[in-house]
Structure 1
């Protein structure tokens, strides 16, 4: 059973999109796959379009990200009405599904200034210098980053109310970065949290890419 995906629609994809500068850079990104007990997570069609910030102040830039993530969930408790929601500051990258009584798939981006967001940084908890930043389905998010800062920007999520296939799709979700005078880097994340007697949390990271 496939349930309808959530999408954050912003603008047309690619270098010829309306409003994008001629200096835009198109970055194709590889698909990903992560299997775990109770859930299989895939990411397809991910890409980014990078532009200088319209503020033209030398410390800003903009990236439009697109992609589709899918969670194939084989077991989860059946839930009729989840909530209330919670996003604790000490659990970045997740909506902490266990607190609102429903399993969930959520996705977004880790963005850093003068930080290499590789596997070693993730294993080390991103050096403990992580804060959350609200994104959502509005189609855009603005973040302020200083040297060494890392922030999570959530793009979208979907509650998993019963076993099935769930997807979150987004197209040209805009992330505007200000305050970063050095290089900036980002990579996608997707978290599938299954609550109940057989609790599990599966995370799929995308490939890191430069935002200039």
Structure 2
């Protein structure tokens, strides 16, 4: 069984790298729940050379496009909800993160992100409300982290739950679309040294990327 140790892999900065801005009105969020469009569930299993594995899944995902108060066609906003999970086989430790892949047809400028709603950590899951505001030039797409990294241990799962998570395209003059990405990385004995970010483990280093169903933001 091979061993590995790699320097320079940085843990996701998560909530530490984002700035606080005001979230949209809670009244709009309440009406959004009733009209949320469901998105397809998904799951994926990756297996290493020595039989170790990581399973990632996406369940109860939905989105709701929110009408902007200005109603000038120069912005798009969606509320995203869902549960995103990862579990390793016996002996496999790792980390789970959720990202948003988004793009806009015409012009988006400015950048900010927020956890302006609520953030509650309660093993084995993490619930995150708030939102992101995306910096996209015409014809471009961007990938943005939406949560802190959640660790999972041998044979046990971890989950991140998004609740009315706001995705804002502040100056989007055309159509906008987005999808989630669930990323799980791990190995037998997987660990990250807090002092120098050294990653250690045995056997195969596994990385699973699970893409969600694309959706349009009107």
TM-score computed with the length of structure 2 as normaliser = 0.63
2:192 aligned with 1:181: no
CA distance in 2, matches of 1:56, 1:187: 24
Q: CA deviation at 1:200?
A: 1.2
Contact 1:193 1:200 in 2 (8 A): yes
2:152 aligned with 1:146: no
Q: Tell me what 2:20 maps to.
A: none
**CA spacing shift, 1:208–1:174, aligned 2, 3 Å:** same
CA distance in 2, matches of 1:22, 1:199: 44
**Unpaired segments of 5 or more residues in structure 1?**
1-9, 78-102, 116-131
Equivalent residues in 2 for 1:190-209, closer than 5 Å: 190-194=182-186, 195=190, 196-197=201-202, 198-209=204-215
The root-mean-square deviation of aligned C-alpha atoms, in Å, is: 3.1
Q: Tell me what 1:43 maps to.
A: 58
Contact 2:29 2:79 in 1 (8 A): no
How many residues are treated as equivalent by the alignment?
A: 158
CA distance in 2, matches of 1:111, 1:135: 17
Q: CA deviation at 1:134?
A: 5.2
**CA spacing shift, 1:21–1:169, aligned 2, 3 Å:** closer
SS of 1:52's partner is coil
CA distance in 1, matches of 2:182, 2:173: 28
Q: Answer with 1 or 2: which has the greater Rg.
A: 2
